[in-house]
Structure 1
Amino acid sequence: MPLILALQSPPPIPDGVVIAVNQFTDFLLRYLGALAAVGALSMALIEAAKKLLDSRTKFQALRWTRWVMRTPLDRTITGEQAATHSSAMAQLIQLCTGVTDEEASLAAANLIASEGHLGLGHAFHTVPAHALFALELPRMMGSIQDAADVALASPPEYPDLYQLMTVGAKADDVERWYRDGSFALVSVADLNPTPEQRQAVKEHAERFARLRQIVKRKLDGFQLYTGDRWGSWNQAAANAVGMVAMFIVLTWVQRNGIGASISFPTLIVFSLLGGILSPVAKDLVSALKRVKDG
């Protein structure tokens, strides 16, 4: 019986192991605490730079302009002028921001000519036509979706934007909806339609649904890709600024004789590790404290 109880009871943990683990945890907490401070400083610097340089507006204007320019407009509607990227962009800007046609056309032409690059001093000389790109990405895409819906509802009024947004759809759907889709729905709204008219309305409704789904999928794809790239750039910037900040802190510590002396290669390694870990150091500190406290 005593043998069975001895086998069932857990073996005692050596005190030395507990002490070593606690010391290592305390070291990590101190190191990660410093990294958390560096991470907070880095994020503050990055946010200040983003506000000062209006980085969001520049980034989203660049991405959207490139997306527009990559969309081929080689297919035209019979009897209509060929759509252009500049005109499509102008119609979008006018619908989303409410600026005049002249302002929208000028802003669109400049964006296309510069391939989406806004000037370095853009933040100090803002243009109302660029307000669309200053919005957070979900709000910007919601505004663009609304403009696309307007173009789908009234294709002859916004022909270039309509053709831009429907690239990739069936040519017959694009052509027939442009010609008589919206008019056919309106013409039978207050009448007692015949079976033929009902069938035509059904076909036009299905055609509109197909076109709108294609537009929505394209815009959703753009939003996913752009959001991912924006997050990646922010993460890379946080790591880079964290590395520089950690290097400056460690260099200052070495010059003032605080703590143990370390070689320059070791300082570089610590700076690199600090830059990589600083954005997540706060979460690691919280996790280690929970482990230590049991």
Structure 2
Amino acid sequence: MSPVDTNTIAITVESFSGNILNYALLLAAIGTIAMALLELIKSVTFWRRHFQRRRIERWLAGASDANAAQQQLMLLAAGGAENAAVLYDQPTAKLMGQIQAAANVALDFPAKYSAFYEFIAALPQVRERRASDDDAKLWRQFSEKRMEGRPHKTSAADDLQARAATQARARLGNLVSRKLDALQNEIDFAWARLNQLSSVAGGGALLAWILLHQTPQLSLELVVLLSILGGLVAPFAKDMVSALTGLRARR
């Protein structure tokens, strides 16, 4: 067996990486332009605001009185429905922070914000009676008595009821936190997927426009195939360009 010619292998690798680099540069440019246009469209059309508004409204649709629950949420989280656009235009973490604060107020005053309280204190899509229903009822009754403020002599039964209500409030707080965490994860995932799909579609459309204006012209089937593949690869082309550029620099 003849010895391995390292120089030949190095030249072959350099030539191969140089060709790939040319394609990667084109895809990186397409991906950059597509993502820049996407950010411009998102800024001009207030895409995030409308997206998060639909997600929150869809979430509140599960309430027994969705309109009242939404009005109370807007009052507690944004100071009123007139500030809804400001609330929904915030990053998801800030939006969920405001909703968490609103939920805490509703938990502290369930009688005043009953629609939103009943929604956040209930398990989603649960028909049968659960412990959380008992906790919500117990804490609401105790809170209403506490807000009446009528003095009376406390007894051992009252102390036992107060401890039970306090424990129920703690369990409800944990339940609400987990529900809002799940909602935030859902919104973040859907937003990331929407941006990814839009970036891929934009990169594919831009590459298709470039290929259709090439001479000689390619067949429509080949243009569609290359556009789909290019759109999928374009968001990752920047990393490939950086790696191949470093390979050539070391050579």
TM range (shorter): 0.7 to 0.9
Give the aligned partner of residue 195 of structure 2. Answer: 234
Counterpart of 2:122 in 1: which secondary structure? coil
Query: In the aligned structure 1, how far is the partner of 2:105 from the partner of 2:39?
Result: 35
Which range moved further: 278-287 or 237-246?
Answer: 278-287
Matched, 1:129 2:72: no
Number of the residue aligned with 2:29: 37
CA contact (8 A) 2:211 2:218 kept: no
Which stretches in structure 2 are left out of the alignment for 5+ residues? 124-130
TM-score (norm 1): 0.74
The answer to whether the 8 Å contact 1:72/1:167 transfers is no
Alignment of 1:22-171 (within 5 A): 22-69=14-61, 71-73=62-64, 84-99=65-80, 104=81, 128-168=83-123, 170-171=132-133
Percent identity, aligned pairs only, is 31
Alpha carbon RMSD of aligned pairs, Å? Answer: 2.7
The alignment of Structure 1 onto Structure 2 pairs a total of residues equal to 241
Deviation track 1:35-60 (CA, whole Å, cap 9, x = no partner) reads: 11111110111111111111111111
Q: Which residue matches 2:126?
A: none
Give the partner amino acid of 2:133. Answer: A
Q: 1:207 aligns to what?
A: 168
In 1: Cα distance, 2:28 partner to 2:225 partner: 18
Q: 2:227 aligned with 1:271, yes or no?
A: yes
CA distance in 2, matches of 1:264, 1:55: 33
Does residue 1:286 correspond to 2:238, yes or no?
no
Measure the CA separation in 1 of the matches of 2:79 and 2:117: 18
* Whole-angstrom distance in 2 between the partners of 1:224 and 1:291: 39
Deviation of residue 98 (structure 1)? 1.1
Letter in 2 for 1:161: F
Unaligned runs of 5+ in 1: 1-10, 74-83, 105-126
C-alpha change, 1:181 and 1:13, in structure 2 (3 Å) is farther
| 1:50-108 deviations in Å (ceiling 9; x for gaps) | 11111111111111111111x253xxxxxxxxxx1100100100111113xxxx3xxxx
